[in-house]
C-alpha cells in the first residue's frame, strides 16, 4: 500500500493576496486530526481565516507561527505514516533551501546593464570586482579597465628617434599639446618623442607617444632629448618652463605651422607657437613663449612681449605693442599705434582704439575698461 | 518590515479619528467585522461607533450627505466602494461640493475627502476596473491625490482630511493596497536614488533615478498604480539599452504638477507620460500640452503618452492585459523617444 502524504497549502482566497502570515497553530506535530479539524489561523492583507484538514491523519506543520509565506505554498503535511511524513518534509525543506540559495545568488550577483555585462565578458572582467554604488554600466567597466591598464610605456632610457631629426619633448599633455604635435609633425627637422606633464593622473599615452610625469624629466634629458616645446594655455606657466629650460640647458623651440606666414624680416624669440592661418608681417618683433593663434593677423612693425596670447582671428594694425602676458580675445581689433599694457585682457570682439593700461580688462566697440585682471 | 499601503491608510484613519472628533467616516459596508471592501476601514466602527456611518447603496445620497456635513463644520471621509461608481456621485461633487465656496461668495467651505479605490488588472470587469479620476480633471475647485507606494499614503490622507479646506478626491489604486511601502533611507530605496521635489509641499512629487550623477535621457511621468510599472520599465530600459530614465511620481495630479516636472523635462528634452486610463483625453494630454507650453524650446522629441486603449476594460484577464498599458508598452515608448 502506497503511503500517501497530503499537502496542506494556503489557499488563495483574495485575488489581491500574494502572501499570508501564519498566526497560530492549533495542532502539534504528530497529532491525529479528523476531516474538518482546524489546523491553524492564517491572516492575509484582506482577511483572517482558519485552514481546515481536508483528510484525516497525523499532521506535521512545516512553518512556524509568525512566518510569512507565499499563498499556495505548503504549510503542513497530513498522512498515516510518520516516517513517510518526515521524508516528505525533509524533501520539501531541501527544495525550499535550494530555491532560497538560488535567489540569494541572484541577489549577490552584481547588478549590471546588458551592455556592461557584454563588455566585461569581452574584456574578461569579473563584474563583482567593480565597486559601484548602484547598477554597473558600460562607463563603469571602461573606467575600471583604464585604471587597471598595465603600464606598457618604454622607460625614458628606451626612447628612440630618427637620428636625422632633433628629438623634442612637449611639456603639457592636454588638448594644446595635440595641436602642437600636429604642427611639429610637419617639420622634418624635428621629431616629437614624448610628453611631460605635472598632473599625477596624466594619461599614460597620448597620440601614440608615452607621457611621463615631470619628475622623470632628468631621465628624459639624460637620454638625450634636449629640445622642448609647449602650448600650455597659462602664460606664466610657459615662462616657468622657459626658466626650466635655461636651468637644464634645454632648447626651447618655436613651432610655426606651414600654413602660417612669418615674414623673413620678422623675428621670433623662443618657445613661440604660430598656428595655421596666422600672419606675422614685416619687421614685427615677437618675444618668447607667445601664442599667435589660428587666423590672427599681426601687421608690420609690431612688438609682442613675452608670453602674450593673440587668440584666433585677432587683427592688429601696425606700430602696436602688446605687453607681456596680455591676452587679446577672439576676433578683437587693435588700431594702429595702440599700446596694450602688461597682463591686460581684451574681450572678444572688442575694438581697441586707445592705449590699454596694465592689468586692465577692456570690452566693447570702442573698447572701454570694465575691470581689473586678478590672480596670476 | 514596512507597513502595507492599506495598513498606512487604516492607521491614518484611526489616528485622525482619535485626534479630531470632527472626523466622520461614511461608506457602504465599512462596518466591522467586514471592515470595508478593501479593509481600509477595519476596526474603525468598533473604536468609534458613533462616527462611522454605514450607508445604503446610493452614492448620490451619501455624497450629498457628506457635503452637507462638511458645510456644517465636520471633516467627513466618504468612501466610494469602487471608483467606477463616482459617476453616481458626480453631480453632488461637480455641481455641489466643488462650487459652494464660490457660489456662496466665500461664506462656506467644503472640507470633504472622497476616497475611491480605482484600477484594474484583477479581472474585475469593465465597471469595476476603471481609473475614473480622469472624468474630474476639468472640474475647478477639486484637488485629486493619487499616492504611489513610494509616498506616505496615510500622511497624505491625514493632510487632506484635517488641513485641506476644499474638496479632495483621494485615489487608491487597488494594485497598491497589499504592497509594502518603499520608505527611502538617506535618499535610497533599493536600486533607486529618491529625491523629494519641492519638499515643503504636503503633496510631494518624487524623483527616482538609478544614476543621479548623469542627466537622464528621458523623463517618465506616472502616478499611483502605474508607479510599479513605470519603475520596472525604466529599469529595463537601463539594463537592456543603457537608456537612463528618471521617473517622476507626483502625489497630487490635480492641480496638475507642471511646475514640479517642467525643469526636469527641459533638462532631458524627452518625456513619456504613462497612465492607466485611456490615452485619449487623459492626464497625459493636459500634462503634454502644458509641458509643450513651458519647455517647447528644449524638447528634442514630441512628448509620448502611454495609456489604455479606447475600449471598455474586459473581464477576461488575457484581454484585460491587451487593453491596459503594460510594462512593455512603456518600454517601447521610452526606446522610441530616446532614439528620436
Which entry of B128, B149, B151, B159 is annotated as an active-site residue?
A: B128
Q: What is chain B's pLDDT, residue by residue, as a tens digit (340 residues)? A: 899 999 999 999 999 999 999 999 999 999 998 889 999 999 999 999 999 999 999 999 999 999 999 999 999 999 999 999 999 999 999 999 999 999 999 999 999 999 999 999 999 999 999 999 999 999 999 999 999 999 999 999 999 999 999 999 999 999 999 999 999 999 999 999 999 998 899 999 999 999 998 999 999 999 999 999 999 999 999 999 999 999 999 999 999 999 999 999 999 999 999 999 999 999 999 999 999 999 999 999 999 999 999 999 999 999 999 999 999 999 999 999 999 8
Q: Would you say B222 and B273 are in contact if contact means Cβ atoms under 8 Å apart?
A: yes
Chain B: give the shortest CA distance to residue A205, in Å: 27
Q: Average pLDDT, whole number, for chain A?
A: 90
Of B6, B123, B191, the CB nearest to A45: B6
pLDDT tens digits for range A174-197: 888 999 999 999 999 999 999 999
Q: What is the pLDDT of residues B22-57, one digit of tens each?
A: 999 999 999 998 889 999 999 999 999 999 999 999
Give me the DSSP letters along B312-332. Answer: PPPSSHHHHHHHS--HHHHHH
pLDDT at site A200: 79
pLDDT tens-digit series, residues A258-292 = 999 999 999 999 999 999 999 999 999 999 999 99
The residue whose grid cell reads 484600477 is B119
Range of lowest pLDDT (A66-70, A154-158, B202-206, B249-253): A66-70
For chains A and B, CB pairs below 8 A equal: 46
What is residue A17's predicted lDDT score, i.e. its pLDDT?
A: 67
How distant, in Å, are the alpha carbons of A65, A97, A364, B265 from that of A20? 11, 20, 76, 42
Task: From chain B, pick out residues whose CB is under 8 angstroms from the CB of A17.
Answer: 178
CB contact under 8 A, A15 and B122: yes
Measure in Å the smallest separation between the Cα of A199 and chain B Cα atoms.
25
CA distance linking residue A349 with residue A173, whole number of Å: 30
Residue A130 per-residue DSSP state: S
pLDDT bracket for residue A326 (50, 70, 90): very high
* CA B83/CA B130 separation, integer angstroms: 7
Q: What's the pTM?
A: 0.66
Which tops the pLDDT comparison, A129 or B38?
Answer: B38
Q: What is the pLDDT of residue B231?
A: 98
Higher pLDDT, B278 or A207: B278
Q: Taking the CA of residue A24 as centre, how many other CA atoms within 13 Å lie in the half-sphere pointing to its CB?
A: 6
A16, A111, A114 ranked by CB distance to B177: nearest = A16
pLDDT at residue A16 tops 70? no
DSSP state of B127: T
Distance from CA of A263 to the nearest CA of B (A): 50
Peptide bond before B222: cis, by omega within 30 degrees of 0? no
pLDDT of residue A178: 93
Whether B149 sits among the annotated catalytic residues: the reply is no
Report, as an integer, the average pLDDT of A204-216: 92
Give the closest-approach CA distance of B91 to chain A in angstroms. Answer: 32
B85 contacts: CB under 8 Å, gap ≥ 6: B59, B116
The answer to whether A135 contacts B191, with C-beta atoms less than 8 Å apart, is yes
Which H or E run includes B146? none
Q: What residues in A contact B177, CB-CB < 8 Å?
A: 16, 45
What is the average pLDDT across A322-341?
97
Its ipTM equals 0.78
What chain B residue is nearest to A44 in terms of C-alpha separation? B178
Site from B34, B216, B239, B338 to mutate, A interface, most A CB atoms within 10 angstroms: B239
Question: Length of chain B in residues, anyone?
Answer: 340
- The number of helix segments (H) and strand segments (E) in chain B equals 11, 14
List the single residue in B39, B210, B241 with the smallest CB-CB distance to A135: B210
Cβ of A45 within 8 Å of Cβ of B211? The answer is no
Locate A38 and state its grid cell: 482546524
Shortest CB distance from B174 goes to which of A16, A47, A138?
Answer: A16
Can you give the pLDDT at residue A127? Answer: 87
Evaluate if residue A70 carries a pLDDT over 90: no
Q: Could you tell me the CA-to-CA distances from A364 to A370, A371, A374 in Å, in that order?
A: 9, 13, 20
B109-125 b/e with 16+ CB inside 10 Å = b? Answer: bbbbbbbbbbbbbebbe
B110: helix, coil or strand?
coil
Rounded to 5 degrees, what are φ and ψ at A320?
-100, 145
* Between A136 and A102, the higher pLDDT residue: A136
**What pLDDT does residue A21 have?**
86
CA-to-CA distance for A360 and A370, rounded, in angstroms?
Answer: 8
Distance CA B137, CA B160 (A): 18
pLDDT at A1 over 50: no
Amino acid at each position: 500500500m502506497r503511503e500517501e502524504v497530503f499537502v496542506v497549502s494556503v489557499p488563495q482566497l483574495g485575488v489581491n493576496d500574494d502572501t499570508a502570515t501564519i498566526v497560530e497553530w492549533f495542532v502539534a506535530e504528530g497529532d491525529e486530526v479528523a476531516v474538518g479539524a482546524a489546523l491553524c489561523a492564517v491572516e492575509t492583507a484582506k482577511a483572517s481565516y482558519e485552514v481546515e484538514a481536508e483528510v484525516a491523519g497525523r499532521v506535521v506543520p512545516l512553518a512556524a507561527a509568525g512566518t510569512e509565506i507565499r499563498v499556495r505554498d505548503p504549510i503542513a503535511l497530513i498522512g498515516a505514516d510518520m516516517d513517510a511524513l518526515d521524508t516528505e518534509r525533509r524533501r520539501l525543506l531541501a527544495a525550499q533551501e535550494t530555491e532560497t540559495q538560488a535567489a540569494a545568488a541572484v541577489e549577490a550577483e552584481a547588478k549590471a546593464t546588458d551592455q556592461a555585462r557584454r563588455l566585461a565578458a569581452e574584456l574578461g572582467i569579473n563584474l563583482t570586482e567593480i565597486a559601484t554604488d548602484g547598477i554597473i554600466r558600460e562607463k563603469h567597466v571602461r573606467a575600471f579597465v583604464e585604471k587597471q591598464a598595465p603600464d606598457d610605456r618604454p622607460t625614458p632610457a628606451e626612447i628612440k628617434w630618427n637620428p636625422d631629426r632633433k628629438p623634442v619633448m612637449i611639456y603639457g599633455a592636454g588638448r594644446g599639446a595635440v595641436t602642437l604635435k600636429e604642427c611639429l609633425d610637419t617639420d622634418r627637422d624635428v621629431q616629437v618623442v614624448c610628453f611631460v606633464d605635472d598632473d599625477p593622473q596624466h594619461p599614460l599615452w597620448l597620440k601614440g607617444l608615452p607621457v611621463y610625469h615631470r619628475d622623470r624629466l632628468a631621465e628624459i634629458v639624460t637620454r638625450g632629448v634636449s629640445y622642448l616645446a609647449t602650448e600650455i594655455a597659462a602664460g606664466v606657466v610657459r615662462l616657468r618652463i622657459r626658466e626650466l629650460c635655461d636651468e637644464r640647458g634645454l632648447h626651447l623651440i618655436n613651432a610655426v605651422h606651414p600654413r602660417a606666414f612669418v615674414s623673413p624680416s620678422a623675428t621670433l624669440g623662443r618657445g613661440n607657437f604660430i598656428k595655421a592661418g596666422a600672419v606675422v608681417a614685416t619687421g614685427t618683433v615677437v618675444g618668447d613663449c607667445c601664442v599667435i593663434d589660428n587666423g590672427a593677423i599681426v601687421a608690420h612693425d609690431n612688438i609682442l612681449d613675452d608670453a602674450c596670447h593673440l587668440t584666433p582671428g585677432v587683427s592688429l594694425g601696425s606700430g602696436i605693442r602688446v605687453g607681456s602676458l596680455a591676452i587679446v580675445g577672439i576676433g578683437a581689433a587693435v588700431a594702429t599705434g595702440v599700446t596694450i599694457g602688461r597682463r591686460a585682457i581684451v574681450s572678444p570682439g572688442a575694438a581697441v582704439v586707445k592705449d590699454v593700461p596694465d592689468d586692465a580688462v577692456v570690452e566693447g566697440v570702442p573698447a572701454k575698461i570694465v575691470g581689473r585682471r586678478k590672480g596670476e | 518590515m514596512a507597513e502595507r499601503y492599506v495598513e498606512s491608510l487604516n492607521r491614518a484613519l484611526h489616528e485622525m479619528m482619535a485626534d479630531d472628533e470632527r472626523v466622520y467616516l461614511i461608506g457602504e459596508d465599512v462596518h466591522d467585522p467586514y471592515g470595508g471592501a478593501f479593509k481600509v476601514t477595519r476596526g474603525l466602527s468598533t473604536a468609534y461607533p458613533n462616527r462611522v456611518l454605514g450607508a445604503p447603496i446610493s452614492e448620490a445620497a451619501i455624497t450629498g450627505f457628506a457635503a452637507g456635513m462638511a458645510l456644517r463644520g465636520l471633516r467627513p471621509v466618504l468612501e466610494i466602494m469602487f471608483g467606477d461608481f463616482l459617476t453616481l456621485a458626480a453631480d453632488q461633487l461637480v455641481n455641489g461640493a466643488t462650487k459652494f465656496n464660490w457660489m456662496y461668495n466665500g461664506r462656506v467651505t467644503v472640507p470633504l475627502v472622497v476616497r475611491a479605490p480605482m484600477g484594474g488588472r484583477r479581472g474585475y470587469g469593465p465597471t469595476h476596473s476603471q481609473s475614473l479620476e480622469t472624468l474630474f480633471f476639468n472640474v475647478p475647485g477639486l484637488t485629486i491625490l493619487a499616492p504611489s507606494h513610494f509616498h506616505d499614503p496615510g500622511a497624505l490622507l491625514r493632510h487632506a482630511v484635517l488641513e485641506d479646506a476644499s474638496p479632495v478626491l483621494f485615489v487608491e489604486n487597488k494594485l497598491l493596497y497589499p504592497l509594502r511601502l518603499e520608505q527611502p533611507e538617506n535618499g535610497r530605496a533599493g536600486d533607486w536614488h529618491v529625491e523629494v521635489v519641492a519638499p515643503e509641499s504636503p503633496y510631494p512629487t518624487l524623483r527616482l533615478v538609478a544614476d543621479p550623477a548623469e542627466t537622464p535621457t528621458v523623463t517618465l511621468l506616472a502616478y499611483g498604480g502605474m508607479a510599479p510599472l513605470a519603475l520596472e520599465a525604466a529599469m529595463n530600459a537601463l539594463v537592456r539599452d543603457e537608456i537612463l530614465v528618471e521617473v517622476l511620481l507626483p502625489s497630487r495630479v490635480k492641480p496638475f504638477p507642471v511646475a514640479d516636472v517642467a525643469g526636469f523635462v527641459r533638462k532631458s528634452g524627452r518625456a513619456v507620460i504613462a497612465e492607466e486610463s485611456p490615452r485619449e483625453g487623459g492626464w497625459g494630454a493636459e500634462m503634454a500640452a502644458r509641458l509643450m507650453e513651458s519647455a517647447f524650446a528644449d524638447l528634442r522629441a514630441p512628448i509620448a503618452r502611454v495609456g489604455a486603449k479606447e475600449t471598455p476594460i474586459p473581464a477576461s484577464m488575457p484581454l484585460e492585459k491587451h487593453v491596459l498599458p503594460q510594462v512593455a508598452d512603456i518600454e517601447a515608448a521610452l526606446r522610441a523617444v530616446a532614439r528620436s
